[in-house]
A and B are shown apart, each in its own frame.
Chain A
Amino acid sequence: MSATGLQLDQAPPLSVPLRFFLTAPLFGVLAAVLLFWHGPTGLASRWTPTMLAFTHLLTLGFLTSAMLGALLQMLPVLAGAPVARPRLVSGVVHGLLTTGTLALVTGFLAPGTGAFPVALLLLGPGLALFVGVALECLWRAPIGDSTARTMGIALVGLAITVALGIGLGVGARTGAQSSWTGVHIGWGLLGWVAMLIGGVAWQVVPMFQLTPPYPAWLRRAYAPVLFFTLLGLSAALLLAPGRLAEKFFGAAIAAALALFAGITLLRQRQRRRRLPDVTLAFWRLAMTSLLAAVLLWLAGAAEIVRGERLAFLYGVLFLLGFAASAVHGMLYKIVPFLLWLHLQRKNIRGTLPNMKELLPDRRTRPHLWVHVAAIAAAVLACLVPAPFTYLAAALLLLSFGWLEWNLLAAVRRYRRLIRAHAHVA
């Protein structure tokens, strides 16, 4: 370990993570509007333009935005290595990611408008820049613990997902498709999303609720096991689709995810901080949904349950139930804390609001139930699209809108205090 280049900055400038956090829920709102607009016909298959646009609004627009913002915030604290030129990196990556996601969605919904190649040209360089900068930062870091390693592997997972996505995008015009799509989805959901949430969990679950640490073997093995089984699954999907190898690697991934979710729930039961907490509730919902998704997948793979709409259910449980809930829980802790931290730096005289005064429980608690209702409606819409699609879309709109509204209310409070102070000074 070397002290050279070691920095323990408290935080990057507020705008660096905040711009990602504030635009992320808007993509969820857009996804809900899209679902409303296209109605049940959009859910005819997983490959309708509506579903492709919907899933990318959630995965790139909501999840990836929020996850990149969180990484920019956490890297300095975790690794002692801040991102170089944070404002510039954050501005450029955010600009390319948001415009690229909008272009991609336009490309899915209106093929032939030329939006698709534009999307690839925006998203490819934008995400490559982020992965490059973040990996360089982890590489420089004086400390490489299990979280930093898991984050590094998740970034590689993101790079693979993007490369496959671009390949599919280019290939779409020549008609090449099929099993590569499965590989792209696998790396995106597991190699990037589930990987990063794991790495973040090793730190924040013990930290927010004062639980015992995760077992060392899980922290060490989770990322490499997930990574190599994903490589195996990719090879199986591409070279021997439908054979036993596919099920073998699938089952290994299912076991890794189930262990992660199960141990997280157990750790949360052992927490020393026993107050009701909205982040805890969102994370419990996330882990329960992940367990449900895994069990359902196993039942599907063993052909205990059958149905062409099963894949929709895995998707809803994983994306909305697991990943989106975990991100909600994180945002409701990170955003008020960051606002508080940056208020401290302004040397404002007088009593400053604490985290719960910036974002009170009365705003976040009811949102939890709206989010649960949205997931339940989405599950129903997977099974019987006709009556439930509109309900699911309306509740998703309400839920993502609520998130945005809550975050903006906290930021408005912060800005009012700064303005009032500037007035006095």
Chain B
Amino acid sequence: MSTLADILTHEHRRCDDLFAQAESAVANGDLETARRDFGEFERSMNRHFDFEEQVLFPAIETAMGPGMGPVQVMRLEHDQMRALFCDMALALAAGDKQRYLGLSETLLILMQQHNMKEEHILYRLAGELLGDREQELLTRLGGQ
């Protein structure tokens, strides 16, 4: 049976694929494909963020007590990534290839070090803290 950590990690990899697709479309100058791929990437990322922010993080905070530092930093990084999505969408709309590629380089590093922290630390911590509630969260993830 897949754990919550497995599923969320798998979502990270899928988003990575979408990211790479959009980026290479931009690099090849195929802006139409790029807009479609980027749209799909952004939607997948936002879905993932929404689950974490509305379901997973509150569950961790409930289990650990409020003012939990790690969750705060994860939320901050989500916001930083959302701001980059915005800038990337603007660059794409303006057809500014160089700006998009500079932004996507920045997003990639931010996103990867964020994923690393979640996969290595937060998801494992969640698995231990949540215990029986994990099943409930999995159901909510499936229902999204």
Contact = CB atoms under 8 A, between A and B. Distances in A.
B is bound to A: yes
Interface of A: 1, 3, 6-10, 77-78, 80, 142-143, 145, 203, 207-208, 210, 272-275, 333, 337, 340-341, 344, 351, 353-357
A208 B105 CA distance: 9
Contact of A77 (B17, B87, B99, B117): B117
Given A273-B23, A275-B23, A354-B103, A10 B16 contact: no
Contacts of B121: 6, 8, 80, 142-143
17 contacts: A3-B125, A6-B70, A8-B69, A10-B73, A77-B113, A77-B116, A80-B121, A207-B112, A274-B20, A274-B24, A351-B87, A354-B102, A354-B103, A354-B105, A355-B105, A356-B105, A357-B102
Candidate in A8, A142, A340, A354 with the most chain B CB atoms within 10 angstroms:
A8
B99 A354 contact: yes
A273 B107 CA distance: 13
Contacts of B73: 8-10
Nearest to A207: B112
Nearest to B88: A354
Interface of B: 16-17, 19-20, 23-24, 27, 64, 69-70, 73-74, 76-77, 80, 87, 98-99, 101-103, 105-106, 108-110, 112-113, 116-117, 120-122, 124-125, 128-129
A272 B17 contact: yes
A355 B106 contact: yes
A351 B90 CA distance: 12
Given A1-B128, A78-B120, A143-B124, A210 B76 contact: no
Contacts of B70: 6-8, 80
Given A77-B117, A354-B102, A356-B102, A6 B125 contact: yes
Nearest to A357: B102
A208 B101 contact: no
B69 A1 contact: no
Nearest to A338: B109
A115 B100 CA distance: 53
Contacts of A333: 109
Contact of B120 (A80, A210, A272, A341): A80
B31 to A, nearest CB: 16
Nearest to A144: B120
Contact of A356 (B16, B101, B120): B101
B109 A208 contact: yes
Contact of B69 (A7, A210, A274, A354): A7
Contacts of A9: 69, 73
**Chain A binding site: helix, strand, loop or mixed by DSSP?**
loop
A353 B77 CA distance: 18
Main secondary structure of the interface of B (DSSP, over half): helix
Contact of A344 (B17, B24, B80, B124): B80
Contact of A340 (B76, B106, B112): B106
Contacts of A10: 73, 76-77
Contacts of B122: 8
B140 to A, nearest CB: 23
B69 A208 contact: no
B116 A207 contact: yes
A357 to B, nearest CB: 5
A10 B109 CA distance: 12
Nearest to B103: A354
A3 B122 CA distance: 9
Contact of B27 (A6, A8, A275, A337): A275
A78 B23 contact: no
Contacts of B20: 210, 272-274
Contacts of B16: 210, 272
Nearest to B16: A210
A353 B102 CA distance: 9
A145 B120 contact: yes
Contacts of B113: 77, 207
A142 B101 CA distance: 36
Contacts of B117: 8, 77, 80
Contacts of B103: 354
A143 B109 CA distance: 21
Contacts of A143: 120-121, 124
A244 B51 CA distance: 60
**A-B pairs, 8 with minimum CB distance:** A356-B102, A8-B70, A354-B102, A207-B112, A355-B106, A272-B20, A354-B106, A80-B121
A36 B69 CA distance: 53
A207 B122 CA distance: 18
Nearest to A80: B121
A122 B105 CA distance: 40
A323 B99 CA distance: 32
A146 to B, nearest CB: 11
Contacts of A337: 106, 109-110
B125 A1 contact: yes
A333 B23 CA distance: 18
A381 to B, nearest CB: 36
Contacts of B87: 351, 354
- Give the residue among B23, B24, B80, B125 with the most A Cβ atoms within 10 A: B125
